[in-house]
Amino acid sequence: MFSLTFLENLLKVITSENKAGKTITSTAEKWCMESILASSKQMTASTKQTTEVFQMISNLGEKNLWSPLELLNLLGALINHHHNKGCISIMKILHLMQTYRVSSKWTDKKMQSVISLLETCETEDMIQHLEKSLEDEEIKTIDTLFDEIREMKDIGEETLSKSYEIVSHVTDLIKTGEIKTHSNIKKAKDLSQSMETANLQEVLAVLCNAVNLKIAEGKWWPRINQMISWCLLALSDNGKLLEMGTGEGKSCVIAMFAALRVFRGEKVDVVSSSSVLCQRDAEEWENFYSYFGITVDTNTNKTDDKSRKECYQKDIIYGTIEAFAADHLRQIFEMKDVRPDRRYECIIIDEVDSLLLDQGVQLTYLSSPMVSMEHLNTILAMIWSHVQQYGFLSSGDQTFVQCPPASFFKAIFDSINTEETEIDDPLDILRIAEETNTVPQGFTEDIHKGDKKDIIEKLKTVNQDAMIHFFEEMEDYVPYGFTVYTLNDEGLLNLRKLSPYNTNQIPDLKFLVLDGGLCCPLYNSEEILIKPIAELISKKIQYTPCTDSNDKISIPGFLRNLIETKMSLWVENAFLAIQLKEGRDYVLENNNVCPVDFRSTGIIELNKKWGDGLQQFVEIKHQIKLSTISAVTNYVSNVSFFQKYQGIYGTTGTLGSEKDILFLQDLYPSLSACRMPTFNRKKLYEVQGTLKTTSKEWKSEIKEVVMAEISTNSYREGRAALVICETINKAKEIHKELKNSIPGKIILYCRSDTESLSQIEKVLDPGDVIVATNLAGRGTDIKVSKQVNKNGGLFVILSFLSENTRVELQAFGRTARKGKPGSAQIIMCTEHMQHDFKSAMSVEEAKSIRDRLAAEKINYMMNDISEMDLREDLFSEYCETLHDIYKKTDGDDRKVIVAIMNEFWGIWLQIKSEDIEQQKKSELQKSLREDLSAARQQTSSKLHRVQAFITTSILEICFWMIKIGTMVPGYLKKP
């Protein structure tokens, strides 16, 4: 008791000295409070209830909602006035405070603080009053919102003053009901050209009236912060990015702003992060647009050029960057009449951080399978047959490449340089094994004379322990150290022997010892294998014209440069294909390999294919029909596509760090950014994250937390939960773990098809659970019942460490929306983390590493942008040649020349890929001009003379394949 009194008095002294301005850190305050709580736990009977009370008190302090001294006073008031059996009343009050993020500064409408209420109210009255006050909390006033925006210092005073006049006027119209008379659409369109305050007041009033009539059906009006957001966009000439909290109504702001730009005579393109979201928003706001005679469509569901052209004649188009960019390429590269009259006037990017930051420098291209590229399939198959013999094994903190198993003496012989030893043959190593009694006398002779079957039987007599000991003996005979592993029951590497040398001068060779006298060399990385495998495959290829060789494959001579340039990359991608996992990196759809964007959006990318042989290696891996490598002949990056517009406007719930914003402003110099305050106090409560060591512990912890949150306890009823998983496979694991324990409905959401979307749109009741991938993490509105909100709101578990803070906040943004309460927690597992994070001992440490890597990614993106700029300069130069061909030719001649030139250009790009990466701009531009000129001359001359000849030229082969009908110019499609 003396210790407690001492700590309490010390805390008061420290706090008073801090207030007096003395330089004593709050660390001492926190230490005192922690010591008081710890001592109190030990002095009490330490029941589950008292432990939980102390934890809830501690949580309020961790979120900086209460200072240590304020917490001490709070605890005292709770114990003195509201203590009952099992601390139930105290936990009910603390649960309400935690749920609604009640700080020491909070007051009710009568300006009574929490402490004051605790000291003056009866327990039941206190709980009811607190519950009602928190549920009925008023939204922020217009003055409060503008004050918060001023504090951020992102917007100039002139713009703020003008916005205040506009919004306050329309707000008054809504209060008086006079706004219903503001329905003159023609007048609004005429006034929209003006930036005068009075004119914009009228335009906003008409727009708000339309939202109330056509979307809200008379039930609600756009909120003040939505109107402010509209003003900031409307008053900007050069582009504006707004960070609006998740659930704050971005789609309403976008629709109202898009309508304004159409009033001004512009065509508007609205870009979203997924086809699901853009189709949803276009359908949801169609009635609003039609009220003004504005036409709207989506470009993600168009499959032919006629429907695409009809789409681009509409006033507003919702779509993805992939669809917009692909149609742009159809227009400028394929010369198709897709968007002939639509200028690049106004673009509004929804979830702007996902498209400009998370996805990095993204290329969209239309690819054309070339018949000549089919020759490469044989080479890819040869590469795969060799690379598939290797595997990847983990020791827990490091992953090794496992080579094919071999007899222990041959594996050692093949791994060492024998020049400085007396070892000339694998059997010399076996003789050493005889000398060291690892194998019996005469073993070498028996192996030498025996056939393959006899050797296998003989090797079975050599056990693992003997081989491990032999590696120690070998260190006396060769200038190498050996590190040896075996496999444990879980298939992980188990260290059995370390190299005795700790110097770079003596190489350390690693081996996995198996049963039956076999072992496998282990390498730290596949990089050491890429060059020798590439050289091995290259020796098995001959190029035409050549004499036939039965032990080599014949490939057309014009592909030689391409193959020699790409061979090492193909081998590298074969190793990558082994590591890619179905259900994480890709799924199989109708015998097609479809990549999954599991790190950011969780979307299955049905129209995407990997390049440089990776797609084909995964197809071989699953023994499905092999597609032909596509040559990329056209492309546009998301960065350069957005730069085509006069100004970029965007919204997101998570704009990112200052470094992220500066990066965007480097790309788009006229861009400015602003963080918008929420219309109501944010009530998201983040529970302390948990880091588990094993996958088993991780699943158990998720199950325990989910069951605790959705079940009724002594101080609240059950809630609903959302578990967001990193991959489809992980989501299925958690779903399986939970499905037999959940009292309500459990929904697995891993796909964006119609059936899955209908499931996710259901209202969640207490006891219900959704298990999902990142599909549920951005732009998805999870609906919960009033009872769930009353019990604390949706509980979100993020079961992995997201790639950056923005993706994490988007996941947490599925709860505590529109002023309602909610909470979230990270529960992650060391086993699932990448190598860079293995050293992390806590969630906070892992986040710190993550944020550092995310900042570094920005620097890499700048390098990517430089390379993309060069690629697009080269593409523009090729397009000039292409346009000239279209002007000077027609009919079949045009088809032939264009097809030949596209094949030439596609292969030229691949051959020059290394020079492009090294950004040899002037050399590449000169080379391209000369090569294009020569190619055009050669192609044109062949159109006027037909002759029989043997050819090795790519132009000649392509020309004659097309001319005789064995190759048809490919209709280009997005990979």
What pLDDT sits at residue 951?
Answer: 36
Q: Which residue has the higher pLDDT, 939 or 400?
A: 400
What pLDDT sits at residue 468?
Answer: 93
Are the beta carbons of 916 and 871 closer than 8 angstroms? yes
Are the beta carbons of 695 and 833 closer than 8 angstroms? no
Rounded Cα distance, 481 and 784, in Å:
62
Rounded Cα distance, 365 and 305, in Å:
17
Q: Which residues contact 892 (CB under 8 A, 6 or more apart)?
A: none
Does the pLDDT of residue 69 top 60, yes or no? yes
Enter the tokens of residue 597: 């964007």
Q: Which of 322, 324, 366, 369 is nearest to 342 (CA)?
A: 324
Does the pLDDT of residue 946 top 90, yes or no? no
Enter the tokens of residue 212: 């109330």
Supply the Cα-derived Rg of the chain in whole angstroms: 34
Which contiguous run of DSSP H or E holds residue 467?
helix 464-474
**Average pLDDT, integer, range 420-442:** 88
Question: Scanning the structure block, which residue is given the tokens 């000295």?
Answer: 17
Q: Considering only 24-33, 316-325, 572-581, 671-680, which range has the smallest mean pLDDT? A: 24-33
Q: Measuring CA to CA, how many Å separate 672 from each of 37, 155, 647, 943?
A: 48, 9, 11, 55
Q: Measuring CA to CA, how many Å separate 423 from each of 102, 187, 468, 854?
A: 77, 96, 20, 50
What pLDDT sits at residue 652?
Answer: 84
**Average pLDDT, integer, range 256-270:** 97
H-helix segments, 153-273: 157-176, 185-191, 197-210, 224-234, 250-263
**What does the DSSP assignment read for 542-566?**
EESS----TTSEEE-GGGHHHHHHH
Enter the tokens of residue 153: 């210092």
Are the beta carbons of 334 and 366 closer than 8 angstroms? yes
Q: Position 88: which residue type?
A: I
What pLDDT sits at residue 770?
Answer: 95
Q: Considering only 187-201, 382-396, 558-572, 942-956, which range has the smallest mean pLDDT? A: 942-956
Per-residue H/E/C for 600-665: CCCEECCCCCCCCCHHHHHHHHCCCCCCCCEEECCCEEHHHHHCCCCEEEEEECCCCCHHHHHHHH
Does the pLDDT of residue 923 top 90, yes or no? yes
Does the pLDDT of residue 3 top 70, yes or no? no
**Average pLDDT, integer, range 171-181:** 95
Rounded Cα distance, 420 and 479, in Å:
9
Does the pLDDT of residue 495 top 90, yes or no? yes
**Residue 395 CB burial class (10 angstroms; 0-12, 13-18, ≥19):** middle
**Average pLDDT, integer, range 197-211:** 97
**Average pLDDT, integer, range 517-521:** 94
For the chain, the average pLDDT equals 86
- For the ranges 268-272, 656-660, 666-670, the maximum mean pLDDT occurs at 268-272
**Average pLDDT, integer, range 707-719:** 93
Are the beta carbons of 636 and 344 closer than 8 angstroms? no
Which DSSP category does 214 fall into? I
The two beta strands, 316-320 and 296-298, are: parallel
pLDDT tens, 733-790? 999 999 999 999 999 998 876 677 778 888 999 999 999 998 887 778 899 999 999 9
Q: Considering only 200-209, 336-345, 692-701, 811-820, which range has the smallest mean pLDDT? A: 811-820
What pLDDT sits at residue 502?
Answer: 79
Tally of residues, the chain: 975
Which contiguous run of DSSP H or E holds residue 825?
strand 822-829
Enter the tokens of residue 123: 């327990």
Which contiguous run of DSSP H or E holds residue 134?
helix 123-135
Share of the chain above pLDDT 90, in %: 51
Handedness of CA 458, 460, 466, 468 (dihedral sign): positive
* Other Cβ atoms closer than 10 A to 625: 7
Q: Which residues contact 467 (CB under 8 A, 6 or more apart)?
A: 408, 438, 484, 513, 517, 519
Rounded Cα distance, 11 and 28, in Å:
8
971 confidence band (pLDDT: 50, 70, 90): very low
Q: Which residue has the higher pLDDT, 547 or 128?
A: 128
Share of the chain above pLDDT 70, in %: 91
Which contiguous run of DSSP H or E holds residue 271?
strand 268-272
Does the pLDDT of residue 948 top 50, yes or no? no
Enter the tokens of residue 973: 């499609």
586: phi then psi, degrees, rounded to nearest 5: -160, 165
pLDDT tens, 20-68? 444 444 565 565 656 555 555 554 545 778 888 888 888 888 778 888 8
16 confidence band (pLDDT: 50, 70, 90): low
Does the pLDDT of residue 141 top 60, yes or no? yes
What pLDDT sits at residue 122?
Answer: 93
Q: Which residue has the higher pLDDT, 418 or 7?
A: 418
**Average pLDDT, integer, range 363-375:** 78
Q: Which residues contact 76 (CB under 8 A, 6 or more apart)?
A: none
Does the pLDDT of residue 547 top 50, yes or no? yes
Does the pLDDT of residue 192 top 50, yes or no? yes
Q: Which residue has the higher pLDDT, 967 or 700?
A: 700
What pLDDT sits at residue 4?
Answer: 44
What pLDDT sits at residue 613?
Answer: 92
Does residue 674 come out as left (phi exceeding 0), alpha (psi in the -120 to 50 range) or beta?
A: beta
